[in-house]
Amino acid sequence: MTAFDRLKLLCAKQGISVNDLEEKIGIGKNSLYSWKKNIPKGTNLLKVADYFNVSTDYLLGRTDNPRASLSGKPQFTVEEALESVMSSDGKPLTEHDRKVLTGIIEAYLENNSDNE
């Protein structure tokens, strides 16, 4: 089962379309359809996981348990996570981009922990 298959299943359970979900979570129309051919990553993956209250590991097919890694603690460090991220042109991130993304991720994690 692909990430897009899981996404469609979660949408169906909530009675919404993929386009409805994109609108609800504030991402571009048809953005999630790229999950049919590409492994999802980045902010959109996090937004979808948060919306459905499932782990990113579940969406990626690494587990069949939707809540497998929702312990509230990261499974790996921000730096480790950034090792697998590429820029939009498929090249490694620049040092500037790494710093910007680190700040965004750390702020996101801090905000999430404040809301629990």
pLDDT at 116: 52
Burial 23-41 (b: 16+ CB within 10 A, else e): eebeeeeeebeebeeeebb
Contacts of 43 (CB under 8 A, 6+ apart): none
Judgement on whether residues 60 and 82 belong to the same structural domain of the protein: no
Write the DSSP string, 57-98.
HHHTTS-S-TTTT-SSS-SS-HHHHHTT-B-TTSSBPPHHHH
The residues that bridge with 57 in the sheet, in sequence order, are none
Look up the domain containing 84 and give its range: 71-116
pLDDT at 68: 66
Judgement on whether residues 3 and 18 belong to the same structural domain of the protein: yes
Least confident of 26-30, 44-48, 91-95, 98-102: 91-95
Judgement on whether residues 51 and 31 belong to the same structural domain of the protein: yes
Judgement on whether residues 19 and 38 belong to the same structural domain of the protein: yes
Sort 92 into a burial class: Cβ within 10 Å, 0-12 / 13-18 / 19+.
Answer: exposed
The pTM of the full predicted model, rounded to 2 decimals, is: 0.58
Judgement on whether residues 66 and 22 belong to the same structural domain of the protein: yes
Judgement on whether residues 79 and 64 belong to the same structural domain of the protein: no
pLDDT at 41: 79
Domain count, the chain: 2
